[in-house]
């Protein structure tokens, strides 16, 4: 029996994902017809990533059984009222590995004060030793698949890692907190703060003037999560006052970040163009194929989104 799967993402994604998806479907014993232009009435699954413009109207697919996201974030689809079938987000080992590498690299950059040697070769033999990792406190907001993996990697390097999530988590060698008091505690102790929360109504501008004021003077911020987690004006004010020493930002409210945006030109901001991590076609295709196989077998799919919580 043939399963009709519609690929609905940016046109440039089709060439990247088409063959890995076909290979993964075959490897899972699935007879799939994968297309960008099925008759909507025949579509049973949609492989989806948001495109520019209005939200997709899923009502055009009367026989739709599930939607499988290509992105870890679901804020641009989770409130789509026309979506009445299960939605699975992407939890991809390649995406996870890339995020761990980006977060670890920039954490070590801040921890070792590497920018001072890279950007200020002034001929002065000034030997200022960094503390050991076991004396450096790292905070991670968000302990999902990406945040948890980053927390574990940093703990393995002997950093003191405290993580925060809306619901209480338990992770080996990680101090895990939750609730408003827990959030304040993470902020107060984080010399380097990593933002990996999903974007919801509760997390929009979670890093505002109050939150920044709670952080230790001279601390650093890494945001590879969602641009809207930060109040941009409050961050600039905190950087200008030297309360926050530096921020490295990979995600923004508007992307691509406009060339005249103040982040590009601020001396205490490093911009990376949303490259902290990316869905990898081979590993993501295997996740999608596995989930369709599970659904066809009457089993619960992995990584289902809770529409009420927003992730």
Pairing of strands 244-249, 269-271: parallel
Question: Active site residue: 226, 246, 280, 295, which one?
Answer: 226
CA angle 187–135–158, rounded 5-degree value: 95
8-state DSSP, 134: G
Is 226 catalytic? The answer is yes
Largest CA distance in the chain: 73
Cis bond upstream, residue 256 (ω within 30): yes
CA distance 274 to 255: 8
What does the block give as tokens for 109?
Answer: 């950059």
The DSSP secondary-structure symbol of 79 reads T
Q: Bridge partners of 193?
A: 139, 221
E strands present in the chain: 3-8, 32-35, 45-48, 66-69, 87-88, 137-141, 160-164, 175-177, 192-195, 219-223, 244-249, 269-271
The active-site residue out of 261, 274, 294, 307 is 274
Strand partners, 247: 221, 269
CA distance 40 to 225: 34
Cα dist from 44 to 31, 38, 50, 199, whole Å? 13, 10, 18, 28
CB 104 within 8 A of CB 153: yes
Active-site positions read: 226, 274
């Amino acid at each position: 029996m043939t399963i009709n799967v519609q690929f609905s993402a940016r046109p440039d994604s089709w060439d990247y994902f088409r063959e890995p998806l076909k290979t993964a479907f075959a490897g899972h014993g699935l007879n799939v017809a994968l297309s960008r232009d099925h008759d909507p009435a025949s579509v049973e699954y949609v492989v989806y990533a948001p495109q520019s413009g209005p939200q997709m109207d899923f009502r055009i697919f009367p026989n739709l059984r599930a939607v499988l996201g290509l992105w870890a974030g679901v804020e641009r689809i989770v409130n789509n009222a026309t979506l009445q079938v299960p939605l699975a987000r992407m939890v991809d080992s390649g995406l996870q590995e890339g995020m761990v590498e980006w977060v670890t690299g920039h954490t070590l950059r801040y921890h070792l004060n590497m920018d001072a040697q890279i950007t200020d070769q002034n001929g002065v033999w000034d030997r200022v030793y960094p503390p050991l990792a076991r004396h450096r406190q790292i905070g991670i907001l968000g302990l999902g698949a990406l945040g948890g993996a980053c927390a574990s990697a940093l703990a393995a390097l002997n950093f003191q890692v405290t993580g925060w999530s809306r619901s209480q988590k338990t992770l080996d060698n990680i101090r895990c907190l939750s609730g408003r008091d827990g959030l304040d505690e993470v902020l107060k102790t984080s010399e380097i703060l990593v933002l990996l929360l999903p974007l919801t109504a509760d997390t929009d501008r979670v890093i505002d003037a109050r939150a920044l004021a709670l952080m230790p003077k001279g601390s650093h911020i890494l945001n590879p999560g969602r641009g809207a987690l930060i109040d941009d004006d409050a961050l600039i004010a905190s950087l200008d006052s030297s309360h926050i020493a530096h921020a490295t930002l990979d995600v923004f409210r508007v992307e691509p970040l406009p060339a005249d945006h103040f982040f590009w030109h601020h001396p205490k901001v490093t911009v990376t163009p949303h490259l902290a991590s990316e869905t990898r076609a081979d590993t993501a295709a295997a996740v999608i194929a596995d989930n369709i196989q599970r659904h066809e077998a009457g089993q619960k799919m992995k990584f289902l989104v809770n529409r009420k919580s927003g992730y």
